[in-house]
Amino acid sequence: MTEKKQERVGVYVCHCGTNIAGMVDVEELAKWSAEKLGHQGVVIARDYKFMCSSLGQELIEKDIRELGLTRVVVAACSPHLHEKTFRTAAQKAGLNPYLVELASIREQVSWVHTDRVVATEKAKAVVAGAVSRVIENEPLEEIKVPINPNTLIVGGGIAGIQAALEIANAGFHVYLVEREPSIGGHMAQFDKTFPTLDCAACILTPRMVEVGTHPNITLLTWSEVVNVSGYVGNFNVTIKKKARFINEELCTGCGVCEEKCPKKVIDEVFEAGIGYRKAVYIPFAQAVPKFPVIDKENCTYFIKGTCKACEKFCPTGAIDFKQEDQLINIEVGNIILATGYDLFDARRVSNYGYGRFPNVFTSLEFERLSNAAGPTNGNIVLRDGKTVPKSVGIIHCVGSRDRNFNNYCSVICCMQSLKFAHLVHERTGATVYNFYIDMRTASKAYDEFYQRVLEEGTLFVRGKVAEVTDVARDEHEKGKLIIQVEDTLIGKQRRIPVDMVILSVGLQPRHDAKEVGRLFGISCSTDGWFTEKHPKLDPVATMTEGIFIAGCAQGPKDIPSSVAQGAAAAARVLDKILQKEVALEPIKASVDQKKCSGCRICNGLCPFNAISYIADDNISYINPALCQGCGTCVAACPSGAISGTGFSDAQILAQIDGLLLRTLEVEQATA
């Protein structure tokens, strides 16, 4: 391409302290770039300790001004980390930011290879590729689109509630979607919260009421998001509002329907399977909104066609058996996912006997058992409903920190177990054993709580429980559940008979987290939690612009952290809303009308319906507002009529040649 105007390229090699310089000979790399890529237009090649520092950036800016650079290659980290930094620096010096290219010699070279010579050779190829590519780059302008100030929050647990209130209080509208009939999430099921032993309902319900009455919050419970399209600033969301069979306009939440309903069913959701509810029910006394739901599966009218007791007694005529699911379309600019967690299924650890022995409880069952508003009014009793246990064993890490189940630590179980130990001790005076692998009480006032429980006389046995059995070996084990454990502090096997066993089960990603992730275009980690943009510096943003995550959907965490994340996500959304418009990457496809033959091959390829066929001119047209920039049509066009900015054929082909060192001067290539 000799007739092409010669570009003036600057190559900047970053040491990244020793992160790159430790494995790549950075000085040699810079020298080589100046020598071997000089014919391509490299006029300067420098290395510097930290290119991303202000001094490093100034170095580049100065060269752009003084040497008249027209292209810049920074050989440093992944473009996902510092592309923006260097583009901004170039812009400051008057160079179009899209004429800067990053060569990832840290993530793709120095961090993953072990031989300095080979790593340096590969780094040269990566730089050569970037130089060839950057020459083909074209100046581009960011596309600005307005941001819809409305926000969608999915999940009405404490994280979602916090986020909703923050945004609504700032004066912007929030749609809060909750799958269950009431907001409140797991926290509403708890009795006390560690380490302060605040009553969960006392601190949560005022916030729930605030959400329910806030003029800026549209609360959609018993609803699920079924479709999401669009992009940051302009999402189109379809929500399915499931039929409650209750006319919300007329219902006053008096609860007569529930009282009169003759059908009792086990409440698997709110009461964790240890209590009952009616077929028409308000999940709990403080539910927000206060409207009941008719459970179609169990309602006698829906099964047999007769009954309608609720309808007869409803004083406002709010029962509506003909109600149908409703689809609601909304437009929002940002979305926060606070979808929470599922509990680990304790049946999977069959040796602990959950499901076989009635007096083995899960942590959530115990929460309901100890809750003053629960099925036993807060009396801690065995499954028979009356016997008070004299001894209780609490097993930590059930399903967590276990290669057979979940590798990770569920974070809350140690503190939750300590809370249980305290409650059992306080209310029954029973002897309490805690079986733990390691005690993890690392947060403000957490370890003090541990000390307190220790002083109360709870017994701690360090070791992973092997088995819970009812096979007694002697008299005093008879009729008890025997916990078989290796006490690793004394190095002995022990058998400890107890009346009640509580399994502190771990947290798991929602069973449908993957599908939800797909729906919103975000990914899940190997464990199944939603992946954050950066594990330390950007924990509530995701790879998809405009979609944020908060609470346990991102990973196991306690209530204070969930609240903090909810507020953090809200702050990020407010930041976007207040900017009023968002800059989109100008990566778009367009059709060269002169080359287009009107074959329409591209038409069917676009999932965003951005390509339309204009019959009058026999050409295809790409709507830039709808184009998302994937480039599939560019690759498919048999006439070469479609070109894509940012990732053009010329750029990619040049990069291939560069990476294969085909762009060096011929003598060097053969050396």
**Member of 548, 631, 641, 643 binding other proteins (CB under 8 A):** 631
CB of 653 to other proteins, least distance (A): 6
Burial class (CB within 10 angstroms; exposed 0-12, middle 13-18, buried 19+) of 220:
buried
Question: Tokens 């943009």 label which residue?
Answer: 533
Residue 630 binds other proteins (CB under 8 A): yes
- Residues of span 592-611 touching other proteins by CB under 8 A: 605, 607-608
Residues 139 and 119: beta-carbon distance below 8 Å: no
Q: Which is nearer to other proteins, 206 or 607 (CB)?
A: 607
What residues pair up with 507 in beta bridges, in sequence order? 343
Residue 80 binds other proteins (CB under 8 A): yes
Could you give the 3-state DSSP secondary structure of residue 538? strand
CB of 629 to other proteins, least distance (A): 6
Residue 524 binds other proteins (CB under 8 A): yes
Type of residue found at 580? K
CA distance 562 to 443: 14
Residue 111 binds other proteins (CB under 8 A): yes
Q: Which is nearer to other proteins, 1 or 615 (CB)?
A: 1
Residue 629 binds other proteins (CB under 8 A): yes
Residue 115 binds other proteins (CB under 8 A): yes
Residues 333 and 546: beta-carbon distance below 8 Å: yes
Q: Which of 67, 125, 64, 66 is nearest to 100 (CA)?
A: 64
CB of 639 to other proteins, least distance (A): 11
**Member of 36, 46, 82, 106 binding other proteins (CB under 8 A):** 106
Q: Which is nearer to other proteins, 381 or 661 (CB)?
A: 661
Q: Which is nearer to other proteins, 445 or 653 (CB)?
A: 653
Selected range binding other proteins among 104-112, 145-153, 186-194, 289-297, rule: CB under 8 A? 104-112
CB of 514 to other proteins, least distance (A): 9
Task: List, in order, residues 6 or more apart from 544 with CB less than 8 Å away.
Answer: 232, 520, 521, 522
What residues pair up with 391 in beta bridges, in sequence order? 431
Residue 555 binds other proteins (CB under 8 A): no
Alpha helices in 463-512 (DSSP H): none
Q: Which is nearer to other proteins, 471 or 666 (CB)?
A: 666
Residue 79 binds other proteins (CB under 8 A): yes
Residue 6 binds other proteins (CB under 8 A): no
Could you give the 3-state DSSP secondary structure of residue 61? helix
CB of 576 to other proteins, least distance (A): 20
Residue 644 binds other proteins (CB under 8 A): yes
Residue 659 binds other proteins (CB under 8 A): yes
CA distance 473 to 219: 57
**Member of 427, 478, 492, 662 binding other proteins (CB under 8 A):** 662
**Member of 543, 578, 614, 625 binding other proteins (CB under 8 A):** 543
Burial class (CB within 10 angstroms; exposed 0-12, middle 13-18, buried 19+) of 382:
middle
- Which letter, b or e, does each residue of 282-291 get, where b requires 16 or more Cβ atoms within 10 Å of its Cβ? bbbebbbbbb
Using CA atoms, how far residue 358 sits from 290, 348, 376, 381, 398, in Å, is 34, 16, 16, 12, 17
Residue 634 binds other proteins (CB under 8 A): yes
Q: Which of 430, 429, 421 is nearest to 453 (CA)?
A: 421
CA distance 339 to 542: 15
What are the DSSP calls for 254-269, one per residue? --HHHHH---EEEESS
Q: Which is nearer to other proteins, 104 or 371 (CB)?
A: 104
Task: List, in order, residues 6 or more apart from 440 with CB less than 8 Å away.
Answer: 409, 411, 414
Could you give the 3-state DSSP secondary structure of residue 480? coil
CB of 20 to other proteins, least distance (A): 11
CA distance 192 to 591: 63
Residue 523 binds other proteins (CB under 8 A): yes
Q: Which is nearer to other proteins, 128 or 564 (CB)?
A: 128
Number of residues that bind other proteins (CB under 8 A): 63
Q: Which is nearer to other proteins, 237 or 485 (CB)?
A: 237
Residue 653 binds other proteins (CB under 8 A): yes
CA distance 274 to 623: 56
Using CA atoms, how far residue 94 sits from 7, 54, 98, in Å, is 16, 17, 12
Q: Which is nearer to other proteins, 273 or 607 (CB)?
A: 607
Residue 657 binds other proteins (CB under 8 A): yes
Q: Which of 11, 19, 85 is nearest to 52 (CA)?
A: 85
CB of 77 to other proteins, least distance (A): 9
- Residues of span 362-421 touching other proteins by CB under 8 A: none
CB of 138 to other proteins, least distance (A): 16
CA distance 639 to 636: 9
CB atoms within 10 A of CB 635: 15
Residues 322 and 244: beta-carbon distance below 8 Å: no
CA distance 194 to 454: 15
CB of 525 to other proteins, least distance (A): 5
CA distance 116 to 594: 51
Selected range binding other proteins among 73-81, 206-214, 359-367, 463-471, rule: CB under 8 A? 73-81
CB of 246 to other proteins, least distance (A): 36
Q: Which is nearer to other proteins, 34 or 661 (CB)?
A: 661
Q: Which is nearer to other proteins, 119 or 204 (CB)?
A: 119
- Strand 547-549 and strand 334-337: the pairing is parallel
Residue 625 binds other proteins (CB under 8 A): no
Type of residue found at 3? E
Selected range binding other proteins among 50-58, 180-188, 341-349, 624-632, rule: CB under 8 A? 624-632
CB of 238 to other proteins, least distance (A): 16
- Residues of span 563-592 touching other proteins by CB under 8 A: 587
The pattern of x and - marking residues 116 through 145 that bind other proteins according to CB under 8 A reads --xx-xx--xx--x----------------
CB of 605 to other proteins, least distance (A): 6
Q: Which of 388, 181, 187, 405 is nearest to 295 (CA)?
A: 181
**Contact residues for other proteins, defined by CB under 8 A:** 1-3, 78-80, 104, 106-109, 111-115, 118-119, 121-122, 125-126, 129, 518, 521, 523-526, 531, 543-544, 587, 605, 607-608, 628-632, 634-636, 640, 644, 646-647, 649-650, 652-653, 655-657, 659-663, 666, 669-670
